[in-house]
């Protein structure tokens, strides 16, 4: 029995269990009795290593993620999940050392990784969205555990990856597209970050489901609004029956069509319930959204580090985020 399991059984936070165990107060008598009953029946004894760490030193987790404002605020939601987990684990004095990189700027991941490596950190959470840079830059952190969120690397030596299975997610998107436009003659699969491993895998899953029949794969760097508009214009010009956007930029297609008075005549499937996507899904401009639950990714990443480094529990090599599907009726 672990503190986490006791907290789940009692329906309270890990911090509450810690306060009961170490008699720090600020817990109702009813909750104390409930937690103590579970502790007694399970034969639980506090982990002395975790206790020592909690009392004598900060446990510093490095955060190496894209700019919070990138991808319509997607990364900020991951950071929100990280902060939520840190708050729950407050008794263990987990502190964050944050470096945000610009994924559109070549070399910035490496530069920020090197800067973070010069700070004394005990573990790392990162998103290897620039696969080639990440593979090399992670050598800076070979002596500490690191966790991937959002995406993985085939050759990575990470403690765990908290993300969807990107290939399976792409297949799921393809099944949805077939249901929405069963007689489609032309479908475009869009990658707005050509170097991203997980976007490549989504596109592969999507394309292989259709056995490449009727699917046009289009990839391009969209670093500015002009580049994005030009990219979208070229896709709309193909007059597709369906468009699959492998990241969270579905809203960009809606905004472009509205700005140019283009009537939407294609099915549109994308990712993540960002504010704009949620709005256009509700208005029927986006047909379907697959959620990666970014807050949950950040939360589970911190919990994985806590289990591995602070209470010596085994952590699975992968922590799969469910493929959650949203239509306008269930947002």
Residues 261-278 pLDDT 10s? 999 999 999 999 999 999
> Any bridge partners for residue 211, and if so which?
none
Q: Is the pLDDT of residue 50 over 70?
A: no
Say yes or no to pLDDT of 55 above 60: no
Q: What pLDDT score was predicted for residue 56? A: 59
Q: Kindly state the tokens that stand for 162.
A: 């908290």
48, pLDDT greater than 60: no
Average pLDDT over residues 55-62: 82
The dihedral sign for the CA sequence 102, 243, 208, 217: negative
Distance CA 229, CA 253 (A): 9
pLDDT value at residue 75: 95
CA 238, distance to chain mean position in Å, is 32
**Tokens representing residue 286 in the block:** 């986006």
3-state secondary structure of 263: coil
Dihedral sign from CA coordinates of 298, 301, 307, 310: negative
CB 109 within 8 A of CB 101: yes
The answer to whether the Cα torsion of 301, 303, 305, 308 is positive or negative is negative
Tell me which of 174-178, 273-277, 286-290 is least confident: 273-277
Rank 42-51, 56-65, 269-278 by mean pLDDT and report only the highest: 269-278
* pLDDT digits 0-9 by tens, 76-111: 999 999 999 999 998 788 999 999 999 888 899 999
Predicted pLDDT at 54:
53
- Quote the pLDDT of residue 246: 96
Is the pLDDT at 208 greater than 70? The verdict is yes
Alpha-carbon distance of 87 to 72, in angstroms, equals 25
242/220: higher pLDDT = 242
| pLDDT value of position 1 | 76
pTM over 0.85? The answer is: no
The 3-state DSSP class for residue 82 equals: helix
The mean pLDDT of 51-68, rounded to a whole number, is 80
Mean pLDDT score across all residues of the chain: 91
Look at residues 12, 139, 123 and name the one whose alpha carbon lies nearest to residue 63.
123
- In 3-state terms, what secondary structure has residue 313? coil
Distance CA 6, CA 44 (A): 9
Q: Which two tokens stand for residue 16?
A: 């509450």
Look at residue 49 in the predicted model and tell me its pLDDT. 54
pLDDT greater than 90 at residue 46:
no
| Structure confidence at residue 53 (pLDDT) | 54
Residue with tokens 């489609």: 184
Fill in the DSSP letter of residue 293.
-
Residue matched to tokens 């729950």: 88
Q: Predicted confidence band at 47 (pLDDT cuts at 50, 70, 90)? A: low
Dihedral sign, Cα of residue 168, residue 230, residue 212, residue 240: positive
Residue located via tokens 């580049």: 227
- 42-68 in b/e burial notation, b at 16+ Cβ within 10 A? eebeebeebbebbeeeebbbbbbbbeb
Task: List, for residues 223-241, the tens digit of each pLDDT value.
Answer: 788 999 999 999 999 999 9
């Amino acid at each position: 029995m672990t503190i986490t399991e006791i907290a789940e059984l009692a329906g309270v936070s890990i911090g509450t269990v810690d306060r009961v165990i170490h008699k720090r107060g600020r817990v109702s008598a009813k909750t104390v009795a409930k937690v103590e009953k579970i502790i007694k029946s399970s034969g639980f004894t506090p982990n002395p290593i975790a206790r020592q760490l909690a009392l004598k030193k900060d446990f510093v987790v490095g955060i190496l993620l894209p700019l919070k404002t990138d991808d319509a605020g997607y990364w900020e939601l991951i950071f929100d999940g990280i902060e939520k987990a840190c708050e729950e684990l407050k008794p263990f004095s987990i502190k964050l050392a944050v470096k945000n990189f610009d994924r559109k700027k070549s070399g910035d991941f490496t530069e920020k990784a090197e800067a973070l490596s010069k700070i004394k950190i005990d573990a790392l959470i990162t998103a290897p969205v620039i696969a080639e840079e990440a593979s090399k830059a992670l050598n800076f952190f070979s002596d500490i555990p690191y966790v991937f969120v959002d995406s993985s690397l085939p050759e990575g030596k990470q403690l765990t990856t908290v993300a969807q299975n990107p290939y399976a997610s792409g297949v799921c998107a393809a099944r949805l597209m077939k249901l929405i436009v069963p007689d489609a003659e032309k479908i475009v699969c869009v990658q707005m970050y050509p170097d991203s491993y997980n976007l490549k895998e989504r596109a592969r899953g999507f394309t292989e489901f259709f056995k490449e029949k009727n699917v046009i794969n289009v990839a391009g760097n969209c670093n500015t609004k002009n580049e994005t508009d030009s990219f979208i214009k070229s896709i709309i010009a193909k007059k597709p029956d369906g468009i699959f956007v492998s990241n969270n930029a579905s809203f960009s297609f809606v905004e472009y069509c509205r700005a140019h008075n283009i009537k939407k005549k294609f099915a549109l499937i994308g990712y993540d319930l960002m504010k704009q996507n949620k709005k256009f899904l509700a208005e029927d401009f986006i047909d379907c959204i697959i959620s990666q639950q970014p807050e949950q990714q950040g939360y589970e990443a911190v919990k994985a580090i806590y289990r591995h480094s602070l209470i010596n529990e085994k952590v699975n090599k992968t922590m799969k985020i469910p493929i959650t599907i949203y239509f306008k009726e269930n947002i």
